Amino acid sequence: PSHFSSDHSVDDAKKLAENLGSPHDVIAIEDLYHEFNKTLKPFFKDAPFDITEENIQARIRGVLLMAYTNKYNYILLNTSNKSEMAVGYGTLYGDMNGGLSVIGDVYKTDVYRLAHYINNEKEIIPTNTITKEPSAELRPDQKDSDSLPDYEVLDAILFQYIERVQSIDRIINQGFDEATVKKVLRLVNINEFKRYQLAPTLRVSPKAFGRGRRLPIVAKYLS
């Protein structure tokens, strides 16, 4: 964790590990983060805090997790979901690290449904993890909704575009806000380069990224 990490997120992670009977360790990234910023300050000069510093945190975590799994001959499981990967909501060489993407073909709203199903008889996944507002926690008071539409709306648009291969006009004609549709489809199209570097993904749909759906990186089609 860093000073941007909320106490409840750390507690939820610990509780999940305990519920699964999984050994776990907590490695703080705060000192490493400050060292990175200190090293880069002469080059960044007085440039304000932005996504660069956010990504540094994710990449520090990526290095530590890869080192841990390397040392013990484990495999790092990537937990990015299909919604995040569709719109590029992830950091290359950071939280996108991993040898296998477990839920990379599962939309965020379906991840929530799976979590409720898993908790049907008893709480395995801490309820707070499911009910709290999603956040990358890389800057103060950050929420996913700062950058993205509500996941119910986002996933509905993504489903039409990716799974049903609908054009932008047809999606808008279904009643979605035009500006929102254009924003989402633009994010999908400009982030193909990230999906090329995603870990191998467990495929549960015909349009899984990497095998079921792959487009040229340079030619960004918007239909």
pLDDT score of 223: 52
- Is residue 69 over pLDDT 70? yes
Provide mean pLDDT across the span 20-32. Answer: 96
Q: 83 in a domain, yes or no?
A: yes
Q: 154 in a domain, yes or no?
A: yes
Contact 104, 81 (CB under 8 A): yes
Provide mean pLDDT across the span 95-118. Answer: 98
- Is residue 215 over pLDDT 90? no
Q: 205 in a domain, yes or no?
A: no
pLDDT score of 222: 58
Q: 56 in a domain, yes or no?
A: yes
pLDDT in tens, 37-54: 999 999 999 999 999 999
pLDDT score of 217: 85
Q: 77 in a domain, yes or no?
A: yes
pLDDT score of 212: 82
Provide mean pLDDT across the span 76-90. Answer: 98
pLDDT score of 214: 84
The DSSP code sequence of 17-72 is HHHHT--------HHHHHHHHHHHHHHHTTPPP-HHHHHHHHHHHHHHHHHHHHHT
Q: Indicate which CATH number applies to the domain containing 163.
A: 3.40.50.620
pLDDT in tens, 115-144: 999 999 999 999 999 999 999 999 999 999
Give the pLDDT band of residue 220 (cuts 50, 70, 90).
low
Provide mean pLDDT across the span 192-218. Answer: 92
Q: 140 in a domain, yes or no?
A: yes
Q: 166 in a domain, yes or no?
A: yes
Q: 109 in a domain, yes or no?
A: yes
Span of 64-78, 86-100, 115-129, 132-146 with lowest mean pLDDT: 132-146
Classify residue 101 by its DSSP letter. Answer: E
The boundaries of the domain holding residue 97 are 7-196
CA distances to 2, 15, 47, 125 from 6, in Å: 9, 14, 26, 18
pLDDT score of 221: 62
Number of structural domains (the chain) is 1
pLDDT in tens, 138-193: 999 999 999 999 999 999 999 999 999 999 999 999 999 999 999 999 999 999 99
